[in-house]
Amino acid sequence: MRTARRSESSDMRTDVTRSEVAVVACAELFRDAGEVLASPMGLIPALGAKLARLTFTPDLLLTDGEASLLDADGNVEGWQPFKKVLDVVVPHGKRHVVMGANQIDRFGNQNISAIGAHASPDRQLLGVRGAPGNTVNHRTSYWTPKHSTRVFVDAVDVVSGVGYDNARKAGLAASRFHDVHRVVTNLAVLDFDTPDRSMRVVSVHPGVDVKDVLAATSFPLDTSQATETRLPDAEELRLIREVVDPKATREKEVPA
């Protein structure tokens, strides 16, 4: 589905795809972040981080996931082995990771480990991996390319990433630096800025109705402050199409 908008620099109308809206929404995750390490897992979050670096967050640190710090074009700017990330960056909060979620609940608990009972799962997934350490040490966001009731569940089968309710139950050691920031999907942007830290709708993407988001979610959502996700401006659209993703791989993850 395409949404037409008028270019800010001319009369020309530009077709903006849902994937391009999602890229901008992921870029917005890093607005005003300063000099922190971005760890965007997945295509759309990676494109968003590059766009943020090229526009409103020039101090953002990008990595190849192993040992090199990169600029938005992929040129090596510095060296930071993964051990240093674990020893220095993660426990001191100088990082913003964007993870995927096979399941996520209303308080931001995330599951990437298994579907079904943990002792005898119906489906084995990635495992808990670094999700607990990420969520209790530094800012964490989530990206899911298909917003559905299978992902947005009443209760996750396994807690991999720690949500607000469980961080609170675990006490200061888990809650002091706990910061689940936002969830970006193919339909909407959501956060946890509510009195009980439950999920709410920040914005729905152009062409999406709030009812579509509610129908694709297994639990109630606060929609009282929901707006429309912003479209890329003319320069952002040029960067997406000509610089960060000239082969339009984004359209395979979030079809137009």
What are the beta bridge partners of residue 97?
A: 39, 140
Between CA 28 and CA 183 the distance in angstroms is: 11
- Euclidean distance between CA atoms 146 and 213, whole angstroms: 11
Tell me the pLDDT tens digit for each residue of 114-159. Answer: 999 888 899 999 889 889 999 999 999 999 999 999 999 999 999 9
pLDDT in tens, 32-49: 999 898 999 999 999 999
**Residue 202 · residue 191 · CB < 8 Å:** yes
Closest CA to 57 of 28, 77, 86: 28
How many structural domains does the chain have?
Answer: 1
Task: State the burial class of residue 130 (Cβ atoms within 10 Å of its Cβ: 0-12, 13-18, 19+).
Answer: middle
Half-sphere exposure of 27 (CA within 13 A, CB side): 28
pLDDT for 70 equals 66
- Rounded to the nearest 10 degrees, the angle between the axes of helix 18-28 and helix 43-54 is 60
Contact 109, 163 (CB under 8 A): yes
Task: Look up residue 205 and give its two tokens.
Answer: 């993407």
| Amino acid letter, 240 | I
Cβ(95)–Cβ(108) under 8 Å? no
Compute the CA torsion angle 100, 45, 145, 240 (nearest 10 deg).
Answer: -170
Which residues are paired to 161 by β-bridges? 110
Q: Report, as an integer, the average pLDDT of 196-203.
A: 98
pLDDT mean over 234-255: 97
Q: Domain of 124?
A: 2-253
Supply the CATH number for residue 57's domain: 3.40.1080.10
Q: Residue 197 region, left (φ>0) first, then alpha (ψ -120 to 50), else beta?
A: left
Question: For residue 74, what pLDDT is reported?
Answer: 75
Q: Spell out the long-range contacts of 13-17 with Cβ–Cβ below 8 A and sequence spacing 24 or more.
A: 14/234, 14/237, 16/206, 16/231, 16/232, 16/237, 17/250, 17/251, 17/254, 17/256
Q: What backbone torsions phi and psi does residue 32 show, to the nearest 5 degrees?
A: 60, 20
Residue 8: pLDDT over 60: no
In three-state secondary structure terms, 26 is helix
Percent of the chain clearing pLDDT 90 (strictly above): 73
Helix, strand or coil for residue 19?
helix
* Nearest-angstrom CA–CA distance, 249 and 155: 33
pLDDT of residue 75: 72
